[in-house]
Amino acid sequence: MLLRRISPTGLALVMLAGVLAALLSAGAGEARSRIKDIVSFEGIRGNQLVGVGVVVGLAGTGDTLRNAPFTQQMLQSAMERLGSNTRNATNIDTKDVAAVFVTADLPPFSAPGSKIDVKVSATGDAKSLLGGELLVTPLIGADGEVYAVAQGTVETGSISVTGASGSSVTRGVATKGRISNGASVERDSNFDFEKMPSLRLTLHNPDFTTASRIAAAINAAYPATATADNSTIVTLKPPPGMPMTAFVTAVEPLQVDIDSPAKVIIDQANGIVVMGEDVRISTIAIAEGNLTITVTEKPQVSQPGPFSNGQTTVTPQSTVKIDEEKGRKLITLQAGISLASLVKGLNTLGVSPRDMISILQDIKKQGALQADIEVN
């Protein structure tokens, strides 16, 4: 399918027509997709980690301790763990420290000692985290266990320049950044993939026909190993003696034809129309044209002659012009036509993007559009 953008009136019209005809003429074999691209495998997913830490070494762009007491508490706790007692200090007034949230995604099957990226976001009134150093921060999962430990120099990718008069220019978000390979994995998720007796595949776009085709393609290669439970789930059981990893590796590249319900999606705000290839139209006639009425005002000044005791007056002169577009005809669309024929017919009328949306909605009201319309 092809998204084509045309904006004759400042709006966008996206039609899935150009490549559709080529796909249909080329045969279904070229439209097949790999199973690995249209499903998710049960248990093979990442896990979200989060932690609260302190960034130090900021050039006066950190939190104001009077406004962010939690930053001062975290700083004092960090220093106490290193043997410095600051609980009785009352004159801590630094702007080189900021409290931050640290987040990361733990990839599936991550082993202890591997590195992952982390994101750092300010929680107080810090102006920038540029150049700061994140102190050791434990990252915990949803179960409350520590899965990784983060530390490193924060990279914000932003630019901030401040003039002597106080004016400043900033590009990017200076209060959030990332640390590449900034966390070390300390424990795995204890997910034993090989011991699973069965595995469920979840379709990205649920459809009964597609689910059945996936099961059929797998059973053709490995008989009696796949079952389509519903429109979303296909359950796999590896053949006797075949490890689950080897079975999934063999299943992933198998190809199937994707099926989807006929649907038209309309974005009225942006003038976007997206239609699937299975949209069909019953017999219907469409006529579209624009009537333009132009009114031109050209005032005429009437000046009296000398010594006539007359007054200068302004006489309005109006010109009215009516233009009705020529060449627009009534077009008849036969029953069962495809998307390509519909687009060709509407383009023959020369409709604008906004008119296209109105026409499709009117066809649906007429009951001639054999598809669901989703208006955003």
pLDDT in tens, 330-354: 555 555 566 566 666 666 666 666 7
Verify that 95 and 216 share a domain, yes or no. no
Mean pLDDT across 288-296: 50
Give the residue from 185, 218, 240 where a domain finishes.
Answer: 185
Find out whether 61 and 97 touch, Cβ atoms under 8 Å: no
Verify that 39 and 53 share a domain, yes or no. no
DSSP 36: H
Verify that 78 and 115 share a domain, yes or no. yes
Q: Is residue 369 part of a domain?
A: yes
DSSP helix, strand, coil percent of the chain (3-state; round to 5): 20, 35, 45
Model pLDDT for residues 109-142, shown as the tens digit of each residue:
888 999 999 999 999 888 889 889 999 999 999 8
302 three-state secondary structure: strand
Model pLDDT, residue 285: 65
Measured CA to CA, the distance from residue 263 to residue 258 in angstroms comes to 15
Verify that 216 and 106 share a domain, yes or no. no
Q: Is residue 152 part of a domain?
A: yes
Find out whether 371 and 280 touch, Cβ atoms under 8 Å: yes
Q: Is residue 317 part of a domain?
A: no
Mean pLDDT across 64-77: 83
What are 313's strand-pairing partners? 302
Verify that 269 and 348 share a domain, yes or no. yes
Mean pLDDT across 20-36: 56
Find out whether 120 and 54 touch, Cβ atoms under 8 Å: no
Model pLDDT for residues 258-286, shown as the tens digit of each residue:
887 788 887 777 777 777 777 777 766 66
Model pLDDT, residue 158: 73
Residue 309's region, left for phi above 0, alpha for psi from -120 to 50, else beta, is left
Verify that 35 and 63 share a domain, yes or no. no
Assign 309 a pLDDT band (cuts: 50, 70, 90).
Answer: low
Find out whether 360 and 264 touch, Cβ atoms under 8 Å: yes
What is the extent of the structural domain holding 99? 47-161+171-185
> What total number of domains does the chain contain?
3
Q: Is residue 30 part of a domain?
A: yes
Give the residue from 151, 185, 219 where a domain finishes.
Answer: 185
The CATH number of whichever domain residue 28 belongs to comes to 3.30.1360
Verify that 269 and 329 share a domain, yes or no. yes
Verify that 87 and 135 share a domain, yes or no. yes
Q: Is residue 88 part of a domain?
A: yes
Model pLDDT, residue 277: 72
Verify that 344 and 283 share a domain, yes or no. yes
Q: Which residue has the tokens 């150093």?
A: 133
Rg for the chain, CA atoms, rounded: 33
pTM: 0.62
Q: Is residue 208 part of a domain?
A: yes
Mean pLDDT across 298-323: 64
Mean pLDDT across 78-86: 77
30, pLDDT greater than 60: no
First and final C-alpha spacing in the chain = 21
Q: Residue 44 is encoded by which pair of tokens?
A: 């093979």
Containing 226, the helix (H) or strand (E) segment is strand 226-228
Measured CA to CA, the distance from residue 33 to residue 35 in angstroms comes to 6
Q: Is residue 318 part of a domain?
A: no
Q: Residue 149 is encoded by which pair of tokens?
A: 């430990």
Measured CA to CA, the distance from residue 54 to residue 104 in angstroms comes to 16
Mean pLDDT across 45-51: 90
Q: Is residue 309 part of a domain?
A: no
Verify that 113 and 132 share a domain, yes or no. yes
Verify that 178 and 57 share a domain, yes or no. yes
Give the residue from 185, 220, 243 where a domain finishes.
Answer: 185
Q: Residue 343 is encoded by which pair of tokens?
A: 């687009």
Find out whether 248 and 256 touch, Cβ atoms under 8 Å: no
Find out whether 52 and 100 touch, Cβ atoms under 8 Å: yes
Find out whether 175 and 126 touch, Cβ atoms under 8 Å: yes
User: How far is C-alpha 306 from the geometric centre of its chain's CA atoms?
Assistant: 76
Verify that 78 and 181 share a domain, yes or no. yes
306, pLDDT greater than 80: no
